[in-house]
Structure formats: structure tokens, C-alpha cells
Amino acid sequence: MDYSQFLMMPQEIGLLVVFLLVFLYDTFMPSKTLKGLPLFATIVFGIFTIFSFFPVQDGMAFGDMFESNKATWAMKNILNIGMFIVLLQSIKWANSDFVAIRRGEFYELMLLTLFGMYLMISGRHFLVFVIGLETASLPLATLVAFEKKYYESHEAAAKYVLTAVFSSAIMLLGLSFVYGITGTLYFSEIASSVQGDNSLLLIVALAFLISGVGYKLSLVPFHLWTADVYQGAPTMVTSYLSVISKGSAAFAFFVIMVQVFGAAYAQIWEWMLYAIIVITITVGNLFAIRQRNLKRFLAFSSISQAGYIMLGVVAANAVGMASMMYYILVYIFSNLAAFGVIAVIERKTGKVTTDDYNGLFKTNPWLAFVMMLAMFSLGGIPPFAGFFSKFFIFLGAAQTHNVAIYVLVFIALVNTIVSLYYYLLVVKAMFIRQDECAIPAFKSHWTEKAGLIICTLGIILIGLVSCIYTSLSDITTSLTSMFSMI
Amino acid sequence: MEIFSNMLIYFVIIPVLTLAGLALTKNKGIDAIRAVAVTGATALVALAIYLVVVFLHARAAGDTSDMILQTSVTWYEPLNIKLALGVDGVSVVMILLSAFIVFAGVFASWKMDPLPKQFFLWFFLLSTGVFGFFISVDLFTMFMFYEVALIPMYLLIGVWGSGNKTYSAMKLTLMLMGGSAFLMLGLIGIYFHSAPEGQPLTMNILEIAKNDAIPHQWQYYLFPLTFVGFGVLGAMFPFHTWSPDGHASAPTAVSMLHAGVLMKLGGYGCFRIAIFLMPFAAQQLGWIFLTLTGISIVYGAFSACVQTDLKYINAYSSVSHCGMVLFAILMFNKTAMTGAVLQMLSHGLMTALFFALIGMIYGRTHTRDIREMGGLMHIMPYLGVGYVIAGFASLGLPGLSGFVAEMTIFVGSFEHQDMFRRVLTIAATTSIVITAVYILRVVGKLLYGAVQDEHHRTLTDADATERISTATLILAVAIIGCFPNFFIDIIRDSFTPVVKALTSVM
Amino acid sequence: MPLSSTIYVLAIPFFMFLFLGLVGVKMPRKITGVIGVLGMAVTTVWAYAIAFTYFFGNGEGQMLDGVRQQIVTTDWTWLSFYADKLVVRLGVLLDPISAMMLIVISTVSFMVHLYSLGYMSDHDGNPEKGFQRYYADLALFTFSMLGLVVSTNIFQMFIFFEMVGVSSYLLIGFYYGQQPANHASKKAFIVTRLADLFFLIGILILSFYTETFDFKEIMGANGHDVCNAFTSAQGLTFMGCSVTGWALTFIFIGGAGKSAMYPLHIWLPDAMEGPTPVSALIHAATMVVAGVFLVARMFPLYVLEQGAMDIICVVGAFTAFYAAAVACTQSDIKRALAFSTISQIAFMMTSLAVSSAKGELIGGHEAGLGYMASMFHLFTHAMFKALLFLCAGAIIHAVHSNENSKMHGLHKYMPITSIAFLIGCLAIAGIPPFAGFFSKDEILVACYEKGIGWGLWMSMVAGMTAFYMFRIYYLIFFWKKHEVHGEHKPKDQPWTMTVPLIVLALISCVAGFVPFGKLVTWDGVQLETHLNLPVACASVGIALIGIGLATVMYWKENPLPDKLATMFKGLWTASYKRFYMDELYQFITHKIIFQGISKPIAWFDRTIIDGFFNLLGNVTNSASFGIRKMQSGNVQGYVSYYIIGAVLLAAITGIVILFV
Amino acid sequence: MDLTLLMYIVPSLIMFGCGVYGFITRKNMIAMLISLELMLNSVDINFVVFNRYLFPAQHEGMFFTLFAIAIAAAETAVAIAIIINVYRLAKNVDINQITKMKF
């Protein structure tokens, strides 16, 4: 066996090293120093994040089961950034009572799930993909149940794990059909061997597969777990769920659709996705309108955002891919900003509903400001990053020149108005509504501040500074082999 | 960075610097805040006037290019999105107008309370968007600045407004954003047909117009999308209902800026994007929107006749006047379009004046219901005379801007050969009578007659800052009214390209 | 005085307006008044100098082989709709009628300025507020009116039509504190504005075909060669009539609004709410004849459009009669004078209209007779009607009331005023040698030339004129003894007010002997006027009958008028109520325009259109509420949706793929 | 008689259906977990059978099955743990009872 192929996966290895360091610290350091574990983990991961920006060499490894190229590299880096912000923000929370004793597990599991996502992104064989998927989702179940004292946390975990296993079962069934038809689970081989024939069985398999990944992306109608889990889980885990795992799943979804079914089945799955996107965005928005609990509210908003991300998949071209990764990046910053604010306030006061936020601007102007930026960015208001990502993903989708996609884009645009409505509701609560018993002014921990500042900078700069999108699109346009089949 | 060698960019940079300056000021330091705001506004006015000079020089020097001061720097290279700047006569006068109104607006919101700092922050963010929109000739940047200009409205009305402010703010924002949703789809469609097969797609308006590659059947979809998208902001019937509520709830300076400048973005966009880029569909579908705008002219005027809230009256008269702008733009000949721009100027200034005065009166009487006021001329003659002058400008008294604009529009529209347009023009002319009716009704009820409410007798007349802001606007209105040719000479030739494009598809 | 300096005649009042309006309000009232009067005096002198230079001077190109030329002294491009054609110029055009109008306007205006020093000094005892504003507005009006008469093109005319409209609005509403004045000013402006709308439409149509606004370009010098564009456009028809006919008719409506022709006359009686000097200046002498002036200015075009001429003729003749009939019963002396004004202006209109009677039009001198007569009457009427109004003002100032029931028998208290008023009455009644006789006689001659019927009709109206004028005169000055309230006796007013009366009275006596035919003709060619004896005698006779009737009825207090009033009750009340025209307008404006159109539209806007957009929001909300059951919180429910969704996805796609 | 492919596939699909049905109908979470096991196992059977009958050359399906079994085990473990926690706090494992968060 050729060990040099491990060089293909420096990021995975780096991540494992970080995991091991944290694990060792957790295990062997004296218990009074454990208070420093969160900071330690964050710093180590931060270092890793920086190092993982070193370019990797392209190529396949492990019998073509594992691919590493610029796109995967970029995607992993995007996830790293998000992960780093999450860790940064979770330091204070991890040291709080009830959590402190298990803070080690928290970080280890987080890192493990991230490792699973790496596999999802880089896997070019369904076995690797499934393993990655499960590695990413099972630890999350335990993380969701992390708030030992709170019943909601466990209810959420139960719902999550049951539905997750169910969905993976469905997906595995679909995979088994794929295997039965093609006799292989390699992406490339499937693609070459399903040329032409569109048997009903394969369509069923496709539908099940989409449902399986759609579950992680929480696309309607596979989304129903989202709100409850987001609400019940610790806010840190919620933010992690909402951005990181969603982003990785979206990327993997893109790869599977384009590489595996891109050739003969583009028509079929694109139509499937049209339907799914329309109902996803619409239903997500409709639910979000009525939510008062901010975590639940962001859950539904993230559902409709997933719909927008899917537009990139529908595009199935270089621009679409670049726009999708860009969208995910922006989405990470915006959503983490929002969740960061929510987490801070929840940690301080335990309040999470919109009405609690009345008059927040009077008492905590900066928190309100960041929250507003996040809302505007999510709503796609210039000059914040969200506007650019939305515009580009629409551009990417509209590249494929049929009228249907214009209709799709139009529905999406109409939905942006609805989404703007409920994002503005939050702004209204913070800025316009007045309340005597508003949340009192308080100082947040410097780590939280740091996290929020990073997010704010991201929201403001990513759009105006064009180099990020440019480099992403350079990367995707270089992947000629990928889109050759479309 | 050759972009900074172009003076246009400073129309964006100055407001941004002002934003920064405001951000540095203390929440309590009202004087510092005012100082920064006034400095920014004054700088803008100076720059705008300088721009006019530069423009006239360029034209005098025989620069006959469609746009002067053109610069184009790549922004998003993969999508061929550029930060393309350039101005022609129309944008120049629009910039001048905006600068003036921002200036007057700062003074009109002198005593803004609470949170003056935040107010001015949003105020200047809005003006950033406005100026950016007028200086850019790239679809993407135009659209971006357009939305930058729209969104601050929400908080400006929601936080500092009065009455049913949250409802109005939300309604205004959502309806305008709905319009921009149409618009965005249209822009995307234009982008993908911006160049013939094989050539790189572009967002630069001038290049798109040069390529003229948008297929006719696509224009049938894209023209209505873009026109309605901008028409919503232009208060085109039946998409105008945000205007009464929004204006009624907005604070003075915001109403000024919104009616004075923001609504102009609509007309400007209609002409610059919808008609200029899709002349064929414009010719084919023009009659539909012509009818709609014709309706809004008369409709708005009639609705204004029975309103009792001063701001509602003005909002509806804005519907009527802005309808006239779109109406004239759809006449497709130079004179009418020139009239449209004059009408934008005139309406911008006089509506701003109206709202400023209404704000000052409201600040004293704490009511906007004309039934509860009367004989204010006895008490606050300065404001009263100002209001009368604004009213005369609005009903088209010679020597004030309204007359010039409307006459140019009527003459230009009537010059049109086909009967339909001429009949519509006749119908539109009736608005001058209806306008007189509601203006005189307000003046009669509000200023003349006996003093209704004895408490009003103690009220004071305008103070220094108020006099500055109103005098600026009155002067501008009078200048346009007395020396229209100066502006017309700036404007007229800017329509050569669009008219050529329109006639070429006849 | 070079004609090129005519512009200053306009400039002085304009700068007076700016000065008085901006600075004057800060100065003491006396000083502003004096400044105003002096400024106006200068203007008057200048205007006279210009007029005399024009008529009697023999400068460069004033007379070409016996034809008095039009002279354009100033021409400034103000607004160019197109780079080349349709350019609006502001300029000064001197020709017989504009020169004549310069005299009229400046004279009356100066008289009124002087008169107002006394009249406006106090308002029911206490000093008048806004005295300065009053003089500023007067100056503005004078400027606008002068600008109107010297217009070089129809658009400039329209501009100044608006200007005089506004200044009249300001002056009628001078006592803006009082509702009646407030309403009257509004009414005046809106009615005239409505007429101006038609004027505008007419301009649009005309300029569309002639591609110019300029009088000289349309009608040629002295209207000798009307441009081909017009004559060719006469061929085109719209709805049966020639487009030019439409245009000229619309333009006439514009003039009719200002000149208070039936049915657009209703604003004029109400306009009497303004200060009486204002009524004398604007609503008797100058502005109200703007319509006549407009038609006269475009006379060469009208003579080519017989249809339009007939309309004017009918409207004029009817208005003359209608107004006279109403004037016979009015009790408010200013209203009565107002209706007599309407009637007299109608005389002028009619005589303009009849003056294209004869077959040979262009160059035919008979064609010009009515025109000359009309202008002549305009001139004389301006003088004696101003006189009458100023007298009325003096009386009102003395007794503080407009109602003649409050007056009676003032002759022995205010002899000067009484004499002046009598002269005015004789003049308007057309008794030689007073001014009215000559002008009215020419008018009647022209009418008889048009047709015997027209002649008789107008003669009858002339008789009625004599009757109602003397009715007013008697009711004011005689009828019965004046009951004095308290120690306050009515008496003749201070010199500032009596001097103008005397001056105007003198003018009214002599003005008739001005050789008008030599000076003012429509084509500049001198016109030989000869006293048509039978007509003259007839008209004088009728006038005398009217006066006699009035004497019988109103000289001394007697029950006869009441008897007659009760005998023809319906007729009398109808006439007293001006034949219910105001009520009709009330109905149209309030019931139809406001209640019938505006209210429904406003309702529609709020309910339907706005409701629709609100509905969108509500629908979204209710939909969001409707689907919330989906999120039941039960995992099994979730999973059911999941599996159903997956299967449906597969099934639908499969069906689509396989069977479509 | 020799067994054909369908003789394995059909029962396994039936098994899967039973699993789905059980998961949707049973109230006890443990029972639901068992139904999940049914589903997963039927998938395993599919893989093995496909491999054995259609592509006997290589053993991809077999290996996949092995991993799938391992994953299933892990899932069960985690699920059980969580269910126990739920039981601690809610004092029952009836799926209809743990619907605190909804709408």
C-alpha cells in the first residue's frame, strides 16, 4: 500500500491531529486546568484553520474513493472558518455550569463531525460518503442532547436521531437500488454505466437519495425535524447544525448530482429539484412568519435559505458551484452572527423570543446592530454580503437558458419579499418597539465579542471585496472534468 | 486606482466619509453631529455645482459622447460586473437636484429627536444610494445602489416617523422591494441577452445598448418587468399606495428626500434602462403604461381633492406629478422627455418644499388635519407665503418651475403624431385645473380664513434654519422657472441616443 | 422716447413688486404707499410717452405708405421646446391696440394707486393690515397686464394670462381673513383656470399646425398675410369642423373666461369681495378685457374662421342681454356694476365678431369697423367704468356698506361723487357728447351692418344699460332722505380719492373725441369713421327712454318698483338670483366633482387598490397559519411526510418520464 | 429448486415496508427503534443479494453491508442512550408524549 496517498488528505490529518491534541488535553491534564480546554481547542483549531489554507495537491486516493481538488479544499476551508467562529463563541458557554464537566466531549464530538463532513465532501465512493454522513450526523445527536438538564434538549435529540436513522435507511435503500442497477458505488463508474437508460428503479433510487441528503439540508418535505431540533439544542449546536453541516451537505449534494447523475439524468433531477426548491422556500418562509422563538425562527429561515442554496445545484455549472460556495460562506457569517447574538443574550438572560428583544437597541446598541446586519444580510440587502450571494446564485441559476428556471427565480424573488418581511420584524422589535422591561445592558465576554466582530467584518466585506468570489469561480471553472458530462 | 481620478466617485465617497464622521461623533454631541452633516451636505452641493460646470465645459469643448467622465473598473471579473461610472445631462441635473434636497433636508431635520446621530447615519446612507444610482451606468451597481437607497426608509420611517408608522414603513419597504424583485428578474434577463452569441455578456448599459442584442420576444417579458419595477417607485397607478401612507408617517426630511429624490429614481430608471435598452418592446407595449400613467395623473389629482391630511394631499399630488413624468417619458420624443426631467426637478424641489413646510407647521400645531387649522397666514406669515409659493409652483404658475415642466411635457406630447397619444395629452392637461382646485382648497382652509384654534395664536414663525432650508428650495424653484433654457440645454441632447434607438425600431 | 425703451414700462412695476414685496413690508405704510404711487406715476408718464411716440412719431419703420406697422422692440428667447421650432420668446410688440392698452392700463392703474392711498388707509376705522402687500400685488398686476398686452406670441400671452389670474386671485383675496373673500378668490382663479385650460388646448392645436407661437409668423405683419400652415390646416377637419376652427374656439373660451362671458361669468360678481379700487382696476377696466384683447389680437385668424366668429357673436349678444337683465335688479351696487361690466364687455366681443360681416374680408374696411369700435369702446369703457367703481368705492367708504338700501339720498352729502357718478352714467348710457356715445354708436353701426336683427338686439341692450345705470344712480343719491346713524355723516372723501374721480370724469367727457379710426385699426390702415345719423339718433332715443323709465321708477320713493317686482315675481327673483347660475355651478362642483368623482376615487384607492395589497399580506399570514399542523411535533407525523414526499417525488417523476 | 434474485429481494422489501409501517405506527420508541433495525437490515440483504447474484466478481456490496451493520449498531447505541435520557426526564417513552415543541 502506498502511504504517500495520505498526502492527498492533509486537512483531514490536520483535523485528526487537532482532535487528538484536544483529546489528550482533556484526558491527561489536571482537572483544574481543564477550564482552559475550550480556549486551547479554539486556538489549536484556529492554527489549523490557517495552516489548512496551504494548497493541497489534486488527485484521487485510496482506489479513487477519495478525491482532493481545489473545490474540496476551498469548501473545507470555508467550513473551518465557520467552525472556528462557532468554537470561539462557545468558549464561554462551554465553561458554564452543567456543561463544564462535559466540555471535553463537546469539542471532541464537534471535531469528529467536522471530520465526517470532510469525508462527505471528498468522498467519491458512496461508502465513504455514507460513512462521512453518519459520522457527521450521529455525534450531532449527542451534541443536541448536550443540555443535560433541559428536557427540550433530549426531546430534540430523540427526534433528531430517530428521523436521522430513518432517513439514512431510506437513502441506503436507494443506494442499494443504485448498486443493483450499476453494480458499483464509485461515482464515476455509476455515471458512465447509467448512460441512457432511465429505468423506474433508478428514478426511485434517485428520489430516495435526494431525500436522504435533503434531510440533512432540511429541504421540504424532509425538513420537519429542523425547527424542533434547532429549538431544543444548545444554541451553539444549533448554529453549527444550521451552517456547517448544511454547507457540507450542500456541497456533497452538488457533487453527487453533477458527477453521478449529471450525464443522463440532468433533466430528471433538475425537475425534481425545481419542485423541491419551490416548496422549500415557500414553506420555510410561511412558517418563519409566525415564529416568535428566535431559534425556531432562524430554523425556518435556514430552511428557505437552503432552498436558495439549491438554486446553485440546479444551475449545475461552474458559476452555480462558485455561487453556491460563496452563498454558503456568506450564509455562515450571517447566520453565525445572528446565532452569536442569540447565544449571548440567552446565556445572560435566557430570553429567546422576539418580544424579549423589544427596545434592545436602547440597551445594547452593538448587539442590536450586529443582529440587524445579520438580518439584512440574510434578507439580501445591499451593501451587505447577502445581497451579492443572492444575486450571484440567481445569475448562476439563470445561466441555463430555459424559461422554467426564470419562473423558479421569480418565485424565489417573490419569496425574498416575504423573508424580508420577517427579517424586518426582528429589526422592528429591536429598533422601533419600545419596552420598559427591555433586556438590561450588559457586557459580553471578549470571545463572544471577537466572534461577532469577525462575523460583522465578514458580512460587510465579503460582498464589497470581490477577490473571494473571483477566486472561488476560478477554482470551479478549473474543474473542467466535473462539468464535462453536463 | 484610476477610479479615484474620476470626480464622480466622490459623490459616493463624501456620503460614506460623512457616515464615518457621524459614527465617530458622540450620541449626545448634537452640535458635532450637525456640523458633520452640514459639512457633508455642503460638500455635496459644491461638488454637484462643480460637476455642472465640468459638464458644460465638456459640451462646450465639443465632447459629444453620450456620457462624459466615463470610467470602468472591473469589480466581479468572472461575471463581467464592472464599477462603471458616467453621466449625461439627465444624471447631472438629477445629481444637482439630489444635492440640493439633501442640503435642505439636513436643515429641515435640524431638531431631529430622538437619536439624531442614527437618523443622520441612515439619512446619509440613503443619499449614498441615491448618488451612486445616478452616477453608475452598470446594471449591477445601479441595482445595488437602488436597494441601498430603499432600505434605510424602513428605519427612518419606523423609528422617527409618526402615526401608524410601523405599518406604513413595512408596507412601503415591502412594496418597493416587490418592485425591485421584478426589476432584478428583468436585469438578469437583460444580462443574459446583453451580447450577441459568442461575445462576453456585459452589464454596462451603454454596451448593451450598442449591442442591441435583446431578442424581441424577450423584450416583451423584460420591458414590463423593468418598467413596473421602477414604476412602483415612480408611484405608477396602481402601485402607488405605499406613497400616501409612507409619506404621511415619514418625518419631514425623509418625506423630502423620498418624494424629492427617491421617486425620481423610478422615472430615471424607466428611461435609462427599460426604454433605452428595450426600445422595441417600449414601442409595442408603450400604450399600456401610457394609459396607466395617464390614469395616475388624473386619478392622483382627484384623490387629492378630498383628502384632509396635508401629507396625504401632497402624496396624492406626487402621484399625479410623477405620473406626468412617466407619461412624458413614454412619449418617446425629445421635448416630452426633456419635460419629464424638468418635471422631476420641479416636482422634487417643490414637493420637498411642501413637505418641509408641512413638517414645520406640524411641528407647531401638532396636527396635519386641515379641518383643525385655519388662518395660519395671520400667525406664521413666512411659512404661509412659502406654502402659497409652493402651491403656485405645483399648480403651474409661470415663473416657477412647475409651469415650465408641464408646458414642455404638454407641447412635446401633443407633437406626437398618433391620435391616441394626443387625446391622452388633452386628458392629462385637465390636471392643471384639478391641481388648482386642491391646492387652493388647502391654501384657503389652512392659511386663509379666521384662526380656527385659539392656541395657535401663540405659535412662532420660522426660525433661521427653517428659513434657510425653505429659502434654498424656493430659490431653486424660481430659478428653474425663470431660466428654463439653461437646464433644457443641459438635458436635451442626452435624449439623442434613446430617441434614435426608439425611432430605429419603428 | 425711443420705442426700444418700452421694456422699462414693464420693468418698473416688476421691480416695484419685488421691492415692496420683499423690503416694503418692513417699512412704514405711508412710505410704501408713496413709493408705489410715484413708481406708478413714472410708469404712466413713460407709457404715455411711448404711446405718443408710436402713434404720432415718425421714427424708423413706423409708417409704411400709410400703414402703421407693428414693431417688436424686445425679443428674448425664454424657453425653446425644440432646438429650432416652437420657441417661446418674451418680447414687446407695439401695435395700435397694445399702445392703446398701455395708455388705458397705466392711466387707470395710476388713478387706482393714488385712490388707494386714501381708500386702503383704514379698514372700518382701524388701520389696514397688509397695506404694503396690497401695493406689491397692485404692482404685480400692473406688470402682468402690461406684459399681456405687449405679448409677441400667443404663449407669452398665455403666461401673462396666468400671471394676471394669480394677481387677481391675490387681490380679490386681499381680506383673506374673511371667508367670502377667500371663496371668491378661489372661485375666480379656478373658473379662469378652467378657461385657460381650453386656451392651452387651443394653443397646442394651433401651434401643432403652424409650428410657431409667434404672432408675426402666424399672421404676418399687420395680419396681412396669414401663414400657409394655417390656411392649409383649415382644410383638415376634426369631428366635422376644421381643426383651426377648434383651435380658435378653444382660444376664445380662454378669453371668455377672463372676460366673463356667459357661462364663465360667475366669478366676476363674487370678485367684488376684493377692495373696490381693485375692482375698478382689474374687474372693470383692464383684466376683464383681456379676452377681448386676445380675440382682437388674433383677429386676422378669426376673420378666416367664420364658424368661430359666429360662436363669439352669439355668446356675446346673449351675455350682453343676460348681464343687463340681471343688473336691473341687483341691490348690491358693486354687483350691479359688475354685471354692467359683463354686459359692456359683451358689447365689445359682439362688435369684434360682427366685424367680419361683409364679404370682402382682408383689406375690406367695413370688416375693420367693428374691430375699431370694439377697441374704442374698450378704451372709453375702461375710463368711465373705472370712474363708476371708484365712485362706488367712495360711497362704500362713506357708508360702510355695499347695499343701496343703506344709501339713498346721498346727493347732498357727497356732491362731487354724485356728479362724477352721473357723468359715468351718462357716458355708459351713450348720451352725447360723453365718451360712451361715440364708441357704442360705432358698435351699433357695425351690428346693423351684420344684420338688422343683431342691431335691434344690441340697441335694446343699450336701452337696458341706460335704465339700470340710472336706477343705481337714483337709488344711491336720491330715492329718499338718507337716515344718518349717530353723528357720523357721510361726506366726500379726501383729495387722494376725489382727484382720481375728477380726472376720470374729465376723460370720460372728452375721450369720445379721440380720432380712433385714424389710430387704431386692425390692419394699420386708417379708417374713415362717419357718424351714422339714423343709428345714432335711434340709440340716443332708446337711451333716453331707458333713463326716463328709470327716472319714473326710482327718482322718488314710490311703490312702483315693488309692485312690478311682485307682478313679475318669478322673473324678478330669477333675475335677482342671476338666473340661478351660481346654484348650478355649486351643484356641478360639489355634487358632481367632489361627491361624484373625488370621493369615490379616494374610496376606491383606499379600499380596492390598497385593500388588494393588504389582502396579499393577509393571505400569506393565513396560509402560514393554515399549514402549521404540518409541524405537529410528532416524529411519526414527520416521517410520514418524509416517506410520502419521497415516494411522490419518485412516482410523479417516474410517471412524467415514462408516460409523457 | 434454486432460489432466484426476486425470492430475496421481495421479502427484504416487504421487511423494509414492515419497518416503515412499524416506525410510523408504534408508540413505543424502543419499538420504533426495532422497526428501524428492520429497515436497515433489509437494505443489507439487498446489498448482499445484489452482489451475490448480479455482480459476483467483486465484493463491494458485501463490504458495504459490513459497514452498514456497524453504522446501524452505532445508531442504535446512540438512540438508546438518548431514549433513556428522555425517559429520565419525561418518565415515559411514548412517542406521542414527547411533542412539547411544535408548530
Q: How does pLDDT run across C155-166, given as a tens digit for each residue?
A: 999 999 999 999
**Under an 8 A CB cutoff, do C79 and B404 touch?**
yes
Percent helix, percent strand, percent coil in chain D, to nearest 5: 75, 0, 25
User: In whole angstroms, what separates CA C530 from the centre of its chain?
Assistant: 31
Length of chain B: 506
Q: How does pLDDT run across C54-63, given as a tens digit for each residue?
A: 888 777 667 7
Q: Is residue A465 over pLDDT 60?
A: yes
What element of type H or E holds B226? helix B216-233
Q: Does domain D5-90 have CATH number 1.10.287.3510?
A: yes
For the ranges A189-203, A441-455, C136-150, C173-187, the lowest mean pLDDT is seen at A189-203
User: What is the structure's pLDDT at C359?
Assistant: 44
Q: How is residue A359 annotated by DSSP?
A: T
**Under an 8 A CB cutoff, do C653 and A203 touch?**
yes
Q: Is residue C435 over pLDDT 80?
A: yes
Residue A456: partners with Cβ closer than 8 Å, 6 or more residues away: A337, A370, A373
User: What is the structure's pLDDT at A198?
Assistant: 62
pLDDT bracket for residue C356 (50, 70, 90): low
Measured distance CA(A402)–CA(A398) in Å, rounded: 8
Q: Is residue A144 over pLDDT 70?
A: yes
**Under an 8 A CB cutoff, do A158 and D19 touch?**
no
Q: How does pLDDT run across A264-299, given as a tens digit for each residue?
A: 677 788 888 889 999 999 999 999 998 889 999 999
Question: Best-predicted range by mean pLDDT among A193-207, A281-295, C71-85?
Answer: A281-295
* Domain extents in chain A: 3-484
Mean of pLDDT values over B214-240: 90
Collapsing DSSP states into helix, strand and coil, what is residue C264? helix
**Under an 8 A CB cutoff, do B78 and A413 touch?**
no
> CA–CA distance from C18 to each of B52, B208, C120, C136 (Å)?
29, 52, 20, 7
Q: At which residue does the C-alpha cell 422497526 appear?
A: D35
Length of chain D: 103
Measured distance CA(B252)–CA(B167) in Å, rounded: 18
Q: Is residue C358 over pLDDT 60?
A: no
Collapsing DSSP states into helix, strand and coil, what is residue A117? helix
pLDDT, chain B, mean: 88
Q: At which residue does the C-alpha cell 445508531 appear?
A: D75
What are the grid coordinates assigned to B424, written together? 391622452
Is the torsion defined by CA of A161, A165, A170, A174 positive or negative? positive
Q: What are the start-end ranges of the H helices in C120-260?
A: 131-149, 154-172, 179-210, 215-219, 228-233, 243-258
Q: What is the pTM of this model?
A: 0.90
User: What is the structure's pLDDT at C474?
Assistant: 85
Q: Is residue C518 over pLDDT 80?
A: no
**Under an 8 A CB cutoff, do D39 and A169 touch?**
yes
pLDDT bracket for residue C223 (50, 70, 90): low
Q: At which residue does the C-alpha cell 403666461 appear?
A: C159
Closest by CA position to C649, among listed B178, A39, A211: A211
Q: How does pLDDT run across C224-243, given as a tens digit for each residue?
A: 677 777 777 777 777 777 88
Measured distance CA(A390)–CA(B81) in Å, rounded: 15
- Is residue B360 within 8 A of residue B481, CB to CB? The reply is no
Confirm or reject contact between D84 and chain A (CB < 8 A). no
- Write out chain C residues lying below 8 Å of B492, CB-based: 83
Measured distance CA(C317)–CA(C621) in Å, rounded: 69
Q: Is residue B180 over pLDDT 70?
A: yes
User: What is the structure's pLDDT at A6?
Assistant: 85
Confirm or reject contact between A369 and chain B (CB < 8 A). no
Taking the CA atoms of chain A, what radius of gyration do you get in angstroms? 21
Measured distance CA(D33)–CA(D41) in Å, rounded: 12
Measured distance CA(C62)–CA(B378) in Å, rounded: 52
Closest by CA position to C159, among listed C172, C182, C174, C143: C143
Q: How does pLDDT run across A148-188, given as a tens digit for each residue?
A: 888 889 999 999 999 999 999 999 999 999 998 888 899 88
Q: Is residue C321 over pLDDT 80?
A: yes
* Domain extents in chain D: 5-90
What are the grid coordinates assigned to A184, written together? 458499483
Q: Is residue C655 over pLDDT 50?
A: yes
Mean of pLDDT values over C100-118: 89
Per residue, what are the HEC states of B363-381? Answer: HHHCCCEHHHCCCHHHHCH
Measured distance CA(B283)–CA(B331) in Å, rounded: 10
The DSSP string of C456-507 is HHHHHHHHHHHHHHHHHHHHHHSBSPPPPPTT----PPPHHHHHHHHHHHHH
Confirm or reject contact between C81 and chain B (CB < 8 A). yes
- State the angle between helix axes of C179-210 and B419-429 in degrees (0 to 180), rounded to the nearest 10: 160
Length of chain A: 486
**Substitution target from A360, A371, A381, A414 for chain B, most B beta carbons within 10 A:** A381
Mean of pLDDT values over C14-31: 85
C367 vs B491: which has the higher pLDDT: B491
- Out of C201, C599, C617, the one facing B426 most closely (by C-beta) is C201
Classify residue C66 as left (phi > 0), alpha (psi -120 to 50) or beta: left
- Is residue C522 within 8 A of residue C300, CB to CB? The reply is yes
Mean of pLDDT values over C461-490: 79
Residue D40: partners with Cβ closer than 8 Å, 6 or more residues away: A165, A169, A172, D19, D68, D72, D75
- Write out chain C residues lying below 8 Å of B175, CB-based: 613
**Is cis: bond before B238, omega within 30 of 0?**
yes
CA end-to-end span of chain C: 97
* Nearest-CA distance C605 → chain D (Å): 37
> CA–CA distance from B225 to each of A379, B436, C267 (Å)?
21, 35, 49
Collapsing DSSP states into helix, strand and coil, what is residue B348? helix
User: What is the structure's pLDDT at C123?
Assistant: 64
User: What is the structure's pLDDT at B1?
Assistant: 66
- Out of C628, C634, C643, the one facing D95 most closely (by C-beta) is C634
Based on the number of CB atoms within 10 Å of its own CB, is C576 exposed (0-12), middle (13-18) or buried (19 or more)?
Answer: middle
Q: Is residue C357 over pLDDT 60?
A: no
- ipTM score here? 0.90
User: What is the structure's pLDDT at C281?
Assistant: 87
Measured distance CA(C647)–CA(C389) in Å, rounded: 97
C315 vs C239: which has the higher pLDDT: C315
Measured distance CA(A442)–CA(B457) in Å, rounded: 49
pLDDT bracket for residue C126 (50, 70, 90): low
**Under an 8 A CB cutoff, do A138 and D89 touch?**
no
- Is residue B447 within 8 A of residue B373, CB to CB? The reply is no
Amino acid at position A446, single letter = W
The C-side interface with D (CB below 8 A) comprises 628, 631-636, 639-640, 643
Provide the b/e sequence for C509-547 (b: ≥16 CB within 10 Å).
Answer: bebbebebbebbbbbbebbebeebeebbebbbebbeebb
What are the grid coordinates assigned to B117, written together? 446621530
**Substitution target from B151, B164, B182 for chain A, most A beta carbons within 10 A:** B151
Collapsing DSSP states into helix, strand and coil, what is residue C380? helix
User: What is the structure's pLDDT at C366?
Assistant: 55
pLDDT bracket for residue C1 (50, 70, 90): low
Is the torsion defined by CA of C201, C206, C209, C214 positive or negative? negative
pLDDT, chain C, mean: 83
User: What is the structure's pLDDT at A196?
Assistant: 59
User: What is the structure's pLDDT at B257?
Assistant: 87
Collapsing DSSP states into helix, strand and coil, what is residue C588? helix
Q: Is residue C361 over pLDDT 60?
A: no
Q: Is residue C245 over pLDDT 90?
A: no
D34 vs C657: which has the higher pLDDT: D34
pLDDT bracket for residue D1 (50, 70, 90): low
Mean of pLDDT values over B11-17: 92
Closest by CA position to C502, among listed C423, C442, C611, C613: C423
Mean of pLDDT values over B36-46: 93
Strands C63-64 and C67-68 turn out to be antiparallel
Residue A409: partners with Cβ closer than 8 Å, 6 or more residues away: A311, A394, A397, A398, B185, B188
CA angle at A367 for the pair A362 and A369, rounded to the nearest 5°:
80
For the ranges A412-426, C518-532, D15-29, the lowest mean pLDDT is seen at C518-532
Mean of pLDDT values over C325-335: 85
CA end-to-end span of chain A: 35
What are the grid coordinates assigned to D33, written together? 427503534
**Substitution target from A167, A170, A209, A222 for chain C, most C beta carbons within 10 A:** A222
Closest by CA position to C297, among listed C164, C153, C193, C199: C153
Q: How does pLDDT run across B121-133, given as a tens digit for each residue?
A: 999 999 999 999 9
Report the largest interatomic distance among the alpha carbons of chain A, rounded to a whole angstrom. Answer: 70
Q: How does pLDDT run across A336-369, given as a tens digit for each residue?
A: 999 999 999 998 888 888 888 888 888 888 999 9
Q: Is residue A330 over pLDDT 90?
A: yes
Q: How does pLDDT run across C191-217, given as a tens digit for each residue?
A: 899 999 999 999 988 888 888 888 888
Strands C71-80 and C87-94 turn out to be antiparallel
Percent helix, percent strand, percent coil in chain B, to nearest 5: 75, 5, 20
User: What is the structure's pLDDT at B30?
Assistant: 85
pLDDT bracket for residue C7 (50, 70, 90): confident
Q: Is residue C483 over pLDDT 80?
A: no
